[in-house]
């Protein structure tokens, strides 16, 4: 019965979404207040019914209702409760339901936090969100119904893929989806602005906090995903350029460009068409990411492959949403004034260059992901673009990004003088050069072949020092500590930027050090054997068998010491899950700010001997710490006063005009 | 270029992309047979992954029905199918499983086999896609079914799971076996 209620709730949500897509939008053009006023209750209604559907699926999982096909495929009586919950988004149908639910949530959030926006804008934004929602609901009801039943019901479920039975992966998809789906709000604002023919600074100001929230979620989601790959996949790698990873990276790159571009549009009225285009692209790439992962077009490279019927549906949907919005853009953009003028040496220029670099890299990633398809379609033969290609492209573009990043933040809007910039930045520049030289001089592993190490570390220091110089410039006229603290309170978006940019520097540092100075050893050890790596002594005590809730594990024990000091006891496991018989390796990791020690069990070699892998990963945490700093920066910027002040629109002429229409 | 023409560029680019994706859907690589099906395996000679002194070549396909599995340690789907391959290597004594370790680092690859077991009789090591190109390898994992005369009979793209084995590969291999037995008599 309950699954049927869930199914019905989806149908009701679809009906509401259809009304929501038509009436508020039509009302905004016909000037009917009552139609526009429907937007908010409808958005809430939609969220309510999606939540009901989600709760029904949750109930089916918790009560082990294996008559529901989706539950039977992805759960099991022995599965721990927390993974019964996360199993909801463990496979296709449930993930789409999560997508729709989050979309409903974003719609309701817009309905709630838009009290100061003109009703016309709210109505349009909520209608556009509903159009996207309709697509997902139709997709679910026609091709991927999570409530489908099977009779007779199997006695036991097939269990969740052991790879997904992990806390990191339990929260990674919802975070990622919050980000993907969150860009729908920026998109909806852009479309609403295009529909109204008004791209102004008010539009940019309204979009900014939404875009930033979505970007923060996406940043956290990607960071979690990378961390998960590191400890769960067991290769000690943290990024694989897998199409699924690329699918999340592309919207992130576009979203990063978008938050910067929105700043320019809001503050200077420039880049309007470009900003709109970025908003469309960021969301389109989120949709495309879903399509690539779900459709089977790139089936050969990933396991999520499903049937082509689904692919065709998503593709048609993509064409309507993306094609439609780009057609709208082609129609409206020529009327948009080009806005504020700026000199070559200005903050606008640097932001534009970084925007272009980010967009170019996103395009390259898209190309790399689709290259096999392009080559086949053109009859150019077979190609596969792998790891080295992506790394090369990344390394070709990112140094420029880092270089400009160090200049842009302290450059003045509209026009700046080279003399002033040199005066402010020569010290950080020399310090960065000094850091690079120190790296060449003192890190013995560096050879002429890997000049990349001093270059990257130099760039990381350049970002650090130039931002510190900017901070000094900002604070040196403050009288005392109190005044400085007050500045942190009033300039949160500045300090948010600072944190996020430092996050980039940390990421560069971590990625460079772990890629160049990490060590990986494979070794056969008998109980009592000792292995030394990077100054650490690993003593192997042996392996014993221990039971788990739905698996049995072989658990190894290592005493790790350095000098005469015990560092840690590491207990890696190798699990065999009862239902699938699939083995899973759980590496034991001792983490630290300057290094991770990583031990995992290979195969038993007889006589108590085991094949083992011992890794030393210096500064690997800085990669994810960098990601977290970026997210924290975003959160800090979100609390900036400008987003809380209610009536600022009044003193801005452009905003006031928009508010009256 | 005029402003309105410029505004059309994104739309045109997207339509190109959409056409490509529709094409991609139409030519579902699972359905389209490889042009190599029915032809003898391409000639090649590569060092073995575990033993660089030994070579793996087209001659290794003769005498037994083979599954030729293209894999890499960086490929998540390969890891997903690994257990199924292990099962096959234990249960199916009439076939041999040969591997093509593709665009991989030999250390990583050896580690993967050490961690999860080695289902392959031998794996050829092809870090630069030299042989992969000749086989039309498109991504990993891919699996070719080759009969005991060295003729490619089928290409499967994507991971092999129990369903693929039971519904597609096993009947196919059974058919080839029957044919071969008949031909001998």
In DSSP terms, A542 is beta-bridged to A557
B133 to chain A, minimum CA–CA distance in Å? 7
CA A343/CA A337 separation, integer angstroms: 18
Query: Among B7, B25, B75, whose Cβ lies nearest the Cβ of A295?
Result: B25
Q: Kindly state the tokens that stand for A347.
A: 């903050």
Query: Among B24, B129, B157, whose Cβ lies nearest the Cβ of A384?
Result: B129
The more confidently predicted of residues B140 and A255 is A255
- What's the distance, CA A301 to chain centroid? 21
CATH number of B33-184: 3.40.30.10
CA A41/CA A64 separation, integer angstroms: 35
pLDDT tens digit sequence for A266-291: 888 888 889 999 999 999 999 887 76
A220 to chain B, minimum CA–CA distance in Å? 22
Contacts of B66 (CB under 8 A, 6+ apart): B60, B95, B96, B97, B98, B144, B145, B146
Burial state string for B145-156 with b = 16 or more CB within 10 A and e = fewer than 16:
bbbbebbbbbbb
Residue A41 has pLDDT above 90, yes or no: yes
Residue A627 has pLDDT above 70, yes or no: yes
Residue A249 has pLDDT above 50, yes or no: yes
What is the model's pLDDT at position A18? 96
Instruction: Using CA coordinates, name the residue in chain A closest to B73.
Output: A235
What is the model's pLDDT at position A381? 53
Q: Are A210 and A185 in contact (CB under 8 A)?
A: yes
- Assess A316–B contact: CB distance below 8 Å, yes or no: no
- Cβ contacts of B11 on chain A, cutoff 8 Å: 323, 326-327, 329-330
Long-range own/partner contacts, residues A232-236 (CB < 8 A, 24 or more apart): A232/A163, A232/A166, A232/A168, A232/A169, A232/A586, A233/A163, A233/B76, A233/B79, A234/A585, A234/A587, A234/A600, A234/B115, A235/B73, A235/B74, A235/B108, A235/B111, A235/B112, A236/A518, A236/A520, A236/A598, A236/A615, A236/A617
pLDDT tens digit sequence for B161-174: 888 888 889 998 98
Residue A384 has pLDDT above 60, yes or no: no
pLDDT band for position A380 (cuts 50, 70, 90): low
Q: Do A611 and B117 touch (CB under 8 A)?
A: no
What is the model's pLDDT at position A306? 44
Query: Among B3, B114, B138, whose Cβ lies nearest the Cβ of A384?
Result: B138
For the residues A597-625, what does the mean pLDDT come to? 86
A310 to chain B, minimum CA–CA distance in Å? 10
Return the H-helix or E-strand segment holding A540: strand A536-547
Instruction: Using CA coordinates, name the residue in chain A closest to B159.
Output: A303
- Percent of chain A past pLDDT 70, that is, above it, reads 89
pLDDT band for position A46 (cuts 50, 70, 90): very high
- Percent of chain B past pLDDT 90, that is, above it, reads 13
Query: Among A301, A326, A583, whose Cβ lies nearest the Cβ of B14?
Result: A326
What is the model's pLDDT at position B159? 80
- Assess B36–A contact: CB distance below 8 Å, yes or no: no
pLDDT tens digit sequence for A200-227: 888 899 999 999 999 999 999 999 988 8
Instruction: Using CA coordinates, name the residue in chain B closest to A338.
Output: B3
- Cβ contacts of B103 on chain A, cutoff 8 Å: 384, 386-387
B2 to chain A, minimum CA–CA distance in Å? 9
The more confidently predicted of residues A358 and B128 is A358
pLDDT tens digit sequence for A331-362: 988 887 766 778 888 898 999 999 999 999 99
Q: 3-class SS at A532? A: strand
For the residues A409-425, what does the mean pLDDT come to? 86
**In sequence order, which ranges of A269-386 are alpha helices (DSSP H)?**
272-295, 308-318, 324-332, 347-378
What is the model's pLDDT at position A218? 94
pLDDT band for position A656 (cuts 50, 70, 90): very low
Q: Are B7 and A194 in contact (CB under 8 A)?
A: no
Across all residues in chain A, what is the average pLDDT?
85
Q: What angle do CA A543, A237, B130 make, to 5 degrees?
A: 110
Domain ranges of chain B: 1-29, 33-184
Q: Do B25 and A297 touch (CB under 8 A)?
A: yes
pLDDT tens digit sequence for B58-70: 889 988 899 999 9
In DSSP terms, B101 is beta-bridged to B71, B125
What torsion do the CA atoms of A377, A382, A384, A390 make, to the nearest 10 degrees? Answer: -70
pLDDT band for position A102 (cuts 50, 70, 90): very high
- Cβ contacts of A572 on chain B, cutoff 8 Å: none
The more confidently predicted of residues A299 and A570 is A570
Domain ranges of chain A: 1-163, 166-409, 519-621
Q: Which value does ipTM take for this structure?
A: 0.75
- Assess B47–A contact: CB distance below 8 Å, yes or no: no
The residue written with tokens 């629109």 in the block is A649
Q: Do B7 and A280 touch (CB under 8 A)?
A: no
Residue B136 has pLDDT above 80, yes or no: no
Residue A649 has pLDDT above 50, yes or no: no
What is the model's pLDDT at position A107? 95
pLDDT band for position B1 (cuts 50, 70, 90): low
The residue written with tokens 């096999």 in the block is A372
What is the model's pLDDT at position A291? 66
What is the model's pLDDT at position A369? 80
Q: Kindly state the tokens that stand for A445.
A: 């592993």
Q: Do A301 and B75 touch (CB under 8 A)?
A: yes
Q: Give me the total of CB pairs closer than 8 Å, taking one residue from chain A and one from chain B.
A: 145
- Assess B79–A contact: CB distance below 8 Å, yes or no: yes
Residue A184: CA count within 13 A, CB half-sphere: 29
pTM for the whole thing?
A: 0.82
- Assess B169–A contact: CB distance below 8 Å, yes or no: no
């Amino acid at each position: 019965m309950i699954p049927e209620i869930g199914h019905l709730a989806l149908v009701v949500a679809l009906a509401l979404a259809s009304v929501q897509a038509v009436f508020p939008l039509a009302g905004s053009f016909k000037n009917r207040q009552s139609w526009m006023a429907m937007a908010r209750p409808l958005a809430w209604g939609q969220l309510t019914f999606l939540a009901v559907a989600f709760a029904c699926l949750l109930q089916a999982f918790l009560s082990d209702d294996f008559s529901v096909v989706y539950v039977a495929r992805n759960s099991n009586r022995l599965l721990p409760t927390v993974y019964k919950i996360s199993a909801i988004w463990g496979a296709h149908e449930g993930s789409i339901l999560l997508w729709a639910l989050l979309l409903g949530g974003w719609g309701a959030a817009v309905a709630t936090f838009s009290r100061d926006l003109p009703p016309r804008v709210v109505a349009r934004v909520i209608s556009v969100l509903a159009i996207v929602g309709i697509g997902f609901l139709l997709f679910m009801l026609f091709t991927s119904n999570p409530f489908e039943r099977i009779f007779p019901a199997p006695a036991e479920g097939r269990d969740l893929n052991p790879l997904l039975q992990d806390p990191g992966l339990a929260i990674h998809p919802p975070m990622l989806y919050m980000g993907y789906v969150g860009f729908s709000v920026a998109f909806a604002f852009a479309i609403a602005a295009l529909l109204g023919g008004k791209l102004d600074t008010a539009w940019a100001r309204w979009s900014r906090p939404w875009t930033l929230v979505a970007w923060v979620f996406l940043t956290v989601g990607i960071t979690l995903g990378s961390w998960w790959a590191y400890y769960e996949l067991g290769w000690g790698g943290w990024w694989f350029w897998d199409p699924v990873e690329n699918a999340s990276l592309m919207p992130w790159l576009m979203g990063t460009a978008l938050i910067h571009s929105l700043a320019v549009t809001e503050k200077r009225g420039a880049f309007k068409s470009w900003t709109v285009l970025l908003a469309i692209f960021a969301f389109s790439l989120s949709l495309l990411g879903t399509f690539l992962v779900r459709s089977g077009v790139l089936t050969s490279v990933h396991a999520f492959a499903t049937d082509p019927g689904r692919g065709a549906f998503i593709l048609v949907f993509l064409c309507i949403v993306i094609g439609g919005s780009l057609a709208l853009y082609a129609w409206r953009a020529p009327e948009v004034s080009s806005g504020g003028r700026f000199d070559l040496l200005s903050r606008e220029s640097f932001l534009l260059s970084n925007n272009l670099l980010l967009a170019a890299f996103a395009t390259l990633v898209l190309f790399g992901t689709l290259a096999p398809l392009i080559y086949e379609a053109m009859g150019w033969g077979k190609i596969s673009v792998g790891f080295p290609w992506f790394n090369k492209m990344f390394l070709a573009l990112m140094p420029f990004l880092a270089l400009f990043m160090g200049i842009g933040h302290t450059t003045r809007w509209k026009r700046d003088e080279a003399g002033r910039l040199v005066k402010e930045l020569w010290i950080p520049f020399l310090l960065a050069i000094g850091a690079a030289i120190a790296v060449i001089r003192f890190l013995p592993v560096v050879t002429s072949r890997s000049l990349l190490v001093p270059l990257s570390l130099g760039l990381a220091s350049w970002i650090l020092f130039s931002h510190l110089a900017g901070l000094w410039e900002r604070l040196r006229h403050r009288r005392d500590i109190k005044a400085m603290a007050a500045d942190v309170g009033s300039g949160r978006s500045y300090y948010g930027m600072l944190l996020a940019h430092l996050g980039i520097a940390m990421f560069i540092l971590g990625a460079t050090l772990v890629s160049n100075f990490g060590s990986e050893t494979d070794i056969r050890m008998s109980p009592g054997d000792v292995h030394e790596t990077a100054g650490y002594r690993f003593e192997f005590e042996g392996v014993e068998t221990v039971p788990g809730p739905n698996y049995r594990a072989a658990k190894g024990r290592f005493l790790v010491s350095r000098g005469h000091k015990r560092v840690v006891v590491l207990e890696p496991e190798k699990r065999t899950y009862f239902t699938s018989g699939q083995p899973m390796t759980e590496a034991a990791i001792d983490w630290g700010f300057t290094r991770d020690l990583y031990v995992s069990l290979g195969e038993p070699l007889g006589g108590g001997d085991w094949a083992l892998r011992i890794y030393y990963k210096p500064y690997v945490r800085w990669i994810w710490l960098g990601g977290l700093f970026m997210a924290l920066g975003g959160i800090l910027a979100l609390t900036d006063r400008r987003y809380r002040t209610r009536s600022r629109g009044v003193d801005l002429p452009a905003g006031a005009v928009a508010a009256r229409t | 270029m005029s402003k309105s023409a410029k505004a059309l560029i994104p739309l045109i680019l997207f339509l190109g992309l959409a056409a490509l994706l529709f094409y991609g859907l139409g030519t579902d690589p699972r359905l389209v047979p490889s042009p190599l099906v029915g032809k003898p395996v391409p000639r090649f000679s590569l060092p073995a992954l575990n033993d660089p002194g030994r070579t793996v070549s087209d001659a290794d396909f003769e005498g037994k029905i083979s599954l030729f599995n293209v894999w890499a340690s960086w490929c998540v789907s390969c890891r997903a199918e690994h257990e199924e391959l292990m099962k096959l290597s234990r249960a199916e004594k009439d076939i041999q499983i040969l591997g093509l370790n593709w665009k991989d680092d030999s250390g990583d690859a050896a580690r993967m086999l050490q961690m999860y077991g080695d289902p392959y009789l031998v794996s050829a090591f092809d870090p630069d896609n030299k042989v992969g190109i000749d086989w039309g390898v498109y991504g990993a994992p891919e699996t070719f079914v080759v009969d005991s005369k060295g003729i490619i009979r089928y290409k499967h793209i994507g991971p092999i799971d129990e369903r693929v084995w039971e519904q597609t590969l096993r009947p196919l291999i059974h058919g080839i076996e029957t044919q071969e037995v008949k031909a001998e008599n």
